[in-house]
């Protein structure tokens, strides 16, 4: 039997859902890459990095504030780091995430697939360009981490050439 996802009233096969979500993430990666390239041409790579990392960090802060309003567990003064991971298998599959260690004050998770990296490869980006774009994209988590009662650290990144991204969620 084929696994499906409920998309309001329509049941969508999981493989179609996964392809669509990963495709949306690849488009996000494409936007970042072409905007970085254009700013770099006009103002230099340092300015492009500074402008985009600041903007994306601000987006992360905005998203964190929005998510905390929507989810009481994210506002807790005594947060449980395990509550910060996707709740469904479907969400975990999008980026092939697995939990390595999970306790109340510290959770370690690894992501083995990154749609952003896949998009940058398709665009012909070099390893150095992918590392820079990955660094910029990760400012989303930096911004979120500044607002949340949970600190998010990254030990490894696919964009750095590692075999996975390893995220550590720790209570502040």
pLDDT tens for 78-127 read 888 887 776 666 677 888 889 899 899 999 999 999 999 999 999 999 99
Count of the separate structural domains present in the chain? 1
Q: Residue 65: which CATH number?
A: 3.30.1380
CA torsion 87-54-78-92 (nearest 10°) is 10
Kindly report the pTM of this predicted structure. Answer: 0.85
Domain that holds residue 15: 4-171
pLDDT surpassing 90 at residue 7: no
Q: Find how far residue 94's CA is from the centre of its chain.
A: 11
């Amino acid at each position: 039997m084929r696994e499906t996802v409920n998309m309001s009233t329509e049941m969508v096969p999981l493989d179609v859902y996964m392809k669509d979500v990963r495709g949306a993430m690849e488009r996000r990666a494409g936007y970042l890459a072409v905007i970085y390239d254009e700013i770099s041409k006009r103002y230099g790579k340092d300015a492009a990095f500074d402008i985009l990392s600041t903007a994306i960090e601000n987006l992360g802060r905005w998203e964190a504030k929005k998510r905390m309003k929507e989810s009481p567990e994210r506002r807790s003064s005594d947060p449980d780091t395990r509550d910060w991971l996707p709740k469904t298998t479907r969400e975990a599959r999008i980026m092939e995430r697995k939990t390595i260690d999970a306790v109340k004050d510290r959770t370690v998770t690894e992501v083995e697939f990154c749609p952003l990296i896949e998009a940058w490869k398709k665009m012909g980006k070099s390893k150095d360009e992918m590392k820079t774009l990955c660094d910029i994209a990760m400012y989303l988590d930096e911004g979120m981490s500044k607002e949340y009662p949970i600190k998010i650290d990254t030990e490894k990144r696919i964009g750095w050439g590692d075999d996975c991204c390893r995220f550590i969620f720790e209570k502040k």
